[in-house]
Amino acid sequence: MLYFENDYSEGAHGAILEKLTKTSMEKLPGYGADHYSESAREKIRLSCGCPGAEVYFLMGGTQTNAVVIGSMLRRFEGVIAASTGHVSVHEAGAVEYTGHKVLELPQKEGKIDAGTLKDYLQNFYGDENHEHMVFPGMLYLSHPTEYGTLYTRQELEEISRVCRSYEISLFLDGARLGYGLACRESDLDLADIARFADVFYIGGTKVGALCGEAVVFPEKAPAHFLTMVKQQGALLAKGRLLGIQFDVLFTDDLYRKIAGNAIEAADRLRGIFREKGYRFLLDSPTNQIFVILENKKMKELGEKVVFSFWEKYDDSHTVVRFATSWATSMDEVEQLGRLL
């Protein structure tokens, strides 16, 4: 069986496991106060060009979204997100559990544009009843989006400008950020993101770690953020587990290198699909490929390959997703190619 179901099917990159093993008997303080976590934070600050950034490590994407949103919003505020955003659809109401509404905006290929955002904010404050409504307090973007698409530097800059003029924070969910950074089509680097966003995270779970997301506040974390992390049950006793992983990922550019592997594999796979005449649902340059399969083909292929059902296309076609990862080998891609 070939696996292209998602980007979290394997354990962790070998270098991570090696370091976890080698350091295991060192006695270290808990809750992220160990020197590996500090080293990881320092490397991330450097990569982001933010010597004063505050960096925290959390376990996974939904947790990170709930903690960041729940700790940065004021009580009467909600978070704006694309209607296809992960927080809007696939987090079992984790944001609402913190008491905040997700204010859904229309999207295109998973992206929100600055104009739509501005109109929304303008209308909100223009409505004389807005004190009876949920105040927009933050914009949530995913980059890459749930459709594997990317914001350009200019798009992000414009969005950031709108956010700042309305004094709402900009939060970028980077669960798959590595794959965005490694993408030739992208003109954004970590320093850009740190300049445009008020908070963002660098995903580990989907890019080579056993678990872990590095939350970066380029300026300043909310006061007593650690206590709020604990309050949401997200403070890990053995913080070393996260610190060591990110320390390894940010040594010798490993994070970008292994993300690059996924992109190369995806590029090759896209090429094969294209050559063989398959249609794509949309153009996405990262590690997720959305293909429109004839139902019979889908069934046949499903016997030898694991992929994800995405949505019904029409009566005889279905959209499915193939994902590559830091661990996908070119050999697997070629094997899949031979089945297409």
- Site residues for its own copies, 260-299, by CB under 8 A, read none
Q: Does 25 bind its own copies (CB under 8 A)?
A: yes
Least distance CB 101 / its own copies (angstroms): 4
Element (H, E) at 44: helix 35-48
Q: Which of 27, 184, 276, 296 binds its own copies (CB under 8 A)?
A: 27
Closest CA to 17 of 255, 274, 304, 244: 244
Least distance CB 66 / its own copies (angstroms): 4
Least distance CB 234 / its own copies (angstroms): 6
Q: Computed over its alpha carbons, how large is the radius of gyration of the chain?
A: 20
Q: Does 301 bind its own copies (CB under 8 A)?
A: no
CA distance 175 to 198: 16
Which residue, 148 or 208, has its beta carbon nearer to its own copies? 208
Beta carbons within 8 Å of 277's beta carbon, 6+ residues apart = none
- Site residues for its own copies, 93-112, by CB under 8 A, read 93-94, 96-97, 99-102, 104
Both tokens assigned to 337: 């190619």
DSSP of 240-257: HHHHHHHHHHTSTTHHHH
Q: Does 234 bind its own copies (CB under 8 A)?
A: yes
Q: Does 167 bind its own copies (CB under 8 A)?
A: no
Which residue, 211 or 292, has its beta carbon nearer to its own copies? 211
Least distance CB 268 / its own copies (angstroms): 19
Least distance CB 17 / its own copies (angstroms): 4
Q: Is 124 strand, coil or helix?
A: helix
Q: Does 3 bind its own copies (CB under 8 A)?
A: yes
| x/- track of binding to its own copies for residues 193-212 (CB under 8 A) | ------------xx---xx-
Q: Which of 37, 47, 71, 318 binds its own copies (CB under 8 A)?
A: 71
Q: Does 92 bind its own copies (CB under 8 A)?
A: yes
Q: Which stretch binds its own copies (CB under 8 A): 83-91, 156-164, 260-268, 270-278?
A: 83-91
State the sign of the Cα–Cα–Cα–Cα dihedral 214, 215, 220, 225: negative
Q: Which of 35, 220, 230, 304 binds its own copies (CB under 8 A)?
A: 230
Q: Which of 35, 164, 220, 238 binds its own copies (CB under 8 A)?
A: 238
φ and ψ at 99, to 5 degrees? Answer: 95, 5
Q: Which of 52, 237, 276, 315 binds its own copies (CB under 8 A)?
A: 237
Residue whose structure tokens are 């050559």: 275
Q: Does 15 bind its own copies (CB under 8 A)?
A: no
Beta carbons within 8 Å of 201's beta carbon, 6+ residues apart = 58, 64, 68, 172, 173, 174, 175, 177, 213, 214, 215, 216
Instruction: State how far the alpha carbon of 112 is from the alpha carbons of 134, 221, 255, in Å.
Output: 19, 25, 27
CA distance 139 to 162: 10
How many residues bind its own copies (CB under 8 A)? The answer is 78
- DSSP annotation of 133: S
- Site residues for its own copies, 110-139, by CB under 8 A, read 128-129, 131-135
Q: Does 41 bind its own copies (CB under 8 A)?
A: no
